[in-house]
Chains A and B, each alone.
Chain A
C-alpha cells in the first residue's frame, strides 16, 4: 500500500510537469497542442537510447529536452497558418504517426517489444520503496525547476505578450509583437518540458514501449489543465494531483463494483463525464487565471490609494 502511494506521488510529479507545459502553451499562449504525448515520447526514447550508450542521466534528460524542443519548433510552422482546431487535429496526428513509427521499426528501439532503461540512480539491493523515494526526489527537483521557470515567465512582460497573443493575435501583431517568434518559443519551451517528463517517465518505468504513449495521455493532461484552471500554474499542479487521484480511485473502485459494462472502461467513461462537467459548470477551472504580477505592478497596485483595486 505504501509502495502504491509512493508510485502515485511519482506519477503526479511527472504528469504535473506535462500539465505545466501544456498550460504554458494552451493556457497562456492559446496554442491547442493535442499532440502532447508525442513530445513525451521523444523525451523518453531519447533518454532510453542515450542511456544505453552510457550517457549519464542528466545528459539524457537535457538531450531529450533539446530534441523535443526541435520538434516543437517544427510543429510551430503549421501553428502559424492553422486555426486552433485544425492545429489540434494535425498535431494529434503527428503524435500518432510518431507512435506508429516506433511501433513498426525494429532497428531503433525494438519496435513493439521496447527496450529496457536502467534507473537514473541505482542502489543495488535497496528495497523498492527506497527506489521510489529516490525517484520522488529526482522528479520533484525537475518539477520545481519547471515550475520556477513558468512562474517567472508568465509573470513577466514576456508572459504578458503571450497572453496578448492568446487574446487577439492580430492586435498583438499590430502592436509590434512578432507572433511567429512567440508561438515558436512557447511550443519549444513546452515541448522541452514534456521531453524532460518523458525521460523521467522512461527511467521510472525502466522501459520504453510504444504502448506507453497512447493519445489517452494527451487527453489526461488536457483534463488536468482544464480542471485545474488554464493560465494558472498552481491550477496545473492541482489538476495533475486530482486527475491522477481520480484515475487511481476509479481503477481501485472497479474491483469492488459490479458493473454491466467492461470495468476496464470505467475510467474513460468517468473522464468524459468529468470534462463535460468542468466545461459546463466551471469553464475557468478550479483556480481562476492568475493576473500578471511584477514588482512594478504590485508597487502601483498597493501603493496608490486612488487606484481602484478590482479584477484581481
Chain B
C-alpha cells in the first residue's frame, strides 16, 4: 500500500463547548490535488490550522511523512516541507511583493545573523537565483509587473494571489491552500488550478479547501467532505457529485 504523505487520525479541536473539528481522520497521498469541501463553519480551516501547528489538537495525532507533528512549532513544520497559504491573506504589507516572496524562500543563507554580516558574497549569489524563481512564480499569478510595489498597494484579489504564490515559493512537499480561488476572477482562478495541476506532476502535492466546487472538482483527484466538524464522505469528484451525503452537508436535512 502507498504510504500517505499526511495522515490525520481522530483529530479533535474544540473552542469552549463547540467542537470545531470532531474526530476527523484522513490521508493525503503523494501527488495530485486533494480537495476538502463543506459548508461554512464545518471546520475545514480549523483542521488546516491544527495541522500547521497554529492550534494544538485536543485529541488525536497528525503525521507528516511519518513524523508526528502534533507538538511542533509552525516553523518546524515548515522545515519538514509542509506549508500553507492562509484563507485571509497575511502579507507583509509594508514590504515589496518580491520581498514577500523572498521571505518564504527555503534555506536562504542570509537569513542567519552571522551570514548576513560576514558571508555577504555567498547569499548575494544565492539571492540572484531566488529572485529569478520568485519572478517566475509571480508571472504565473500575473503579479510580476508589481514585483517592486508594496504588498499593501495590491487589490484584494491580488493579495490572495500573492498569498498563494508565497506558498509556492517555499517549495513545499505538501501545500495546504485555503480557498485559493476566492475573490479571483473565474478565468484566472481556473488557470491557477491548471498551473497547480502542472506543478503537481513535479512532485508537489496540494490539499485545497475551496468553495468554487466546479473548479475544484475538475482538477482534484480525491475530495473529502466535512460537515459540522465531522468527515461525512470522501471519494473521487465524480462519485461525490452523485453522493446524497454530499448534498445533505450543503443543503441540510431534507
Contact = CB atoms under 8 A, between A and B. Distances in A.
Interface residues of B, number: 51
B157 interface: no
Contact of B74 (A174, A299, A306, A309): A174
Contacts, number: 139
B176 to A, nearest CB: 10
Contact of B149 (A159, A179, A308): A308
A161 interface: yes
Q: Is the interface of A mostly helix, strand, loop or mixed?
A: helix
A175 B54 CA distance: 12
Contacts of B110: 156-158
B128 A296 contact: yes
A174 B52 contact: yes
Interface in A152-198: 152-153, 156-161, 163-164, 166-168, 170-179, 185
Contacts of B83: 174-176
A164 B93 CA distance: 9
Output the residue of A152, A175, A177, A295 with the most chain B CB within 10 A: A175
Interface stretch (B35-43, B115-123, B238-246): B115-123
Nearest to A156: B116
Interface in A258-304: 289, 291-292, 294-297, 299-301
Interface string B77-104: 0110001101000111111101110111
Chain A, interface size category, equals: 35 or more
Interface string A232-243: 000000000000
A177 B93 CA distance: 17
A168 B92 contact: yes
Contact of B146 (A157, A308, A312): A308
A294 B124 contact: yes
B93 A167 contact: yes
B113 interface: yes
Given A158-B116, A163-B95, A175-B166, A309 B75 contact: no
Contact of A311 (B117, B123, B144, B149): B149
B153 interface: yes
Contacts of A179: 75
B112 to A, nearest CB: 7
A185 B113 contact: yes
Contact of B170 (A176, A301, A309): A176
Given A173-B73, A174-B74, A310 B103 contact: no
B135 to A, nearest CB: 7
19 contacts: A156-B123, A158-B115, A158-B116, A161-B103, A163-B95, A164-B100, A172-B92, A174-B78, A174-B84, A175-B166, A177-B75, A179-B75, A291-B96, A295-B124, A297-B127, A306-B145, A307-B147, A309-B148, A312-B148
Interface of A: 149, 152-153, 156-161, 163-164, 166-168, 170-179, 185, 231, 289, 291-292, 294-297, 299-301, 306-312
